[in-house]
Amino acid sequence: MFNIKQLFVVVFLILGLIQFTQANPIHFESGIGYSYSNITPDGVWYQKGLPHTINKNSPVFMLGITDDIDNNLSWHFDYVNLGSISVNSWDTYRDDYYDPVKGVCLQKCSPNELVNFIGNGSVYGFSATLNYHTQGKIQYGIEAGPFLYHAKWSVSVPNYYTVSGFNPSYTSGWNSTETGIYRSASSWKLGAVIGFTISYNNLTLSLNRYYDGTNFPIPNDGWPTLWRNQTVLMVSYKF
C-alpha cells in the first residue's frame, strides 16, 4: 500500500510529465537486459558452508516514455521488470548451530538433520530519471532518480517440523502445515536508481544500480528479502 510520501512522489512525477508533454512530443522507448543481484550475507537465507543453490541473475525488460529537456538533459519515465531471484538451501534449523563467520556447521550437520529453505522473489516498478549527457554522435551520460517498486518474497521450509521435532504451530509470523512452515510478503516501496549510459542515435547501452532491497514489517521480525540491490545491463531503443 502507498504511504503519503510515495503518493506525493507519484503525483509530482505525473504533474511533471504533463508539463513536459504539453510543450514537447514524447518518444516511446523499450529495452531488454540482464540483472545481477547483490544478496544478503551468509546465514540469513542460506548457509554458505552447507548445500545451497542461489539464482542471482534474471532477464529484465523495460517499457516507457522519454524526451529531451534541452541539448544535454533528458527525462525518462519507465516501467521496469527486474525479474526474479530464488534460493534452495539446506540449513541447520537453529541459527546457533551454524557459524557464519567461519562458514561451518557446528551441530546437527548430517543431511537428514538439515531443513530445506525454498525462497522465491520478484521486483517490478516505475522509475523516473533525469539523464545528463554529452552532445555529439556518441553521447555519454549519467542518470538517476526515484524507483517506486513492488517487491515480493516467499519462503517455505517443508520439512521444518519433521527435522526439528517441534510440534506444528503458528510462530513469529510463519504459517504452519503438518510438516513445515511458510510465509510470504509483498509491498510497494520507494527506492532509487543510478547509472551510466552510452547512446548512438536512438540506441542506448546502460549500466544501472537499482536500490530495491527491503525488510517487510513482520511482527517481532524484520524480514529481509534475499537481495539488497540489483545491477542491470540493458540495451534500449528510442522510437
Q: What is the CATH number of the domain that holds 64?
A: 2.40.160.20
pLDDT digits (tens, 9 = 90+) for 107-141: 999 999 999 999 999 999 999 999 999 999 999 99
Q: Give how many domains the chain has, as a whole number.
A: 1
Domain holding 121, by residue range, is: 4-238
Cell of 74: 533528458
What is the rounded average pLDDT for all residues in the chain? Answer: 88
Q: Which helix (H) or strand (E) holds 17?
A: helix 4-23
Q: What pLDDT is attached to residue 98?
A: 95
pLDDT at 7 over 60: no
Helix (H, G, I), strand (E, B) or coil at 134: coil
Beta pairing partners, 89: 52, 117
Alpha carbons 66 and 17: distance in angstroms, whole number: 9
Sequence-ordered list of residues with C-beta below 8 angstroms from that of 12, at least 6 positions apart, any chain: none
Confidence of residue 51 (pLDDT cuts 50, 70, 90): very high
Residue at 75: amino acid letter: W
Q: What pLDDT is attached to residue 1?
A: 46
CA dihedral 4, 9, 15, 20 (to 10 degrees): 180
Confidence of residue 79 (pLDDT cuts 50, 70, 90): very high
Percent of the chain with pLDDT over 70: 85
pLDDT at 49 over 70: yes
Looking at residues 185-200, what average pLDDT do you find?
94
b/e sequence 24-52, b meaning 16+ C-beta within 10 Å: eeeeebebebebebebbebbebbbebbeb
pLDDT digits (tens, 9 = 90+) for 138-175: 999 999 999 999 999 999 999 999 999 888 775 667 88
Q: What pLDDT is attached to residue 159?
A: 94
Q: Write the DSSP symbol of residue 40.
A: P
The pTM is what? Answer: 0.85
Helix (H, G, I), strand (E, B) or coil at 126: strand
Alpha carbons 228 and 223: distance in angstroms, whole number: 12
pLDDT at 2 over 50: no
Looking at residues 188-217, what average pLDDT do you find?
92
At CA 210, angle to CA 78 and CA 77, rounded to 5?
A: 15
pLDDT digits (tens, 9 = 90+) for 10-35: 555 655 655 555 556 789 999 999 99
C-alpha separations of 188 from 12, 15, 36, 93, 123 in Å: 17, 21, 21, 31, 10
Residue pointed to by grid coordinates 510543450: 23
Alpha carbons 60 and 39: distance in angstroms, whole number: 17
Residue pointed to by grid coordinates 525488510: 215
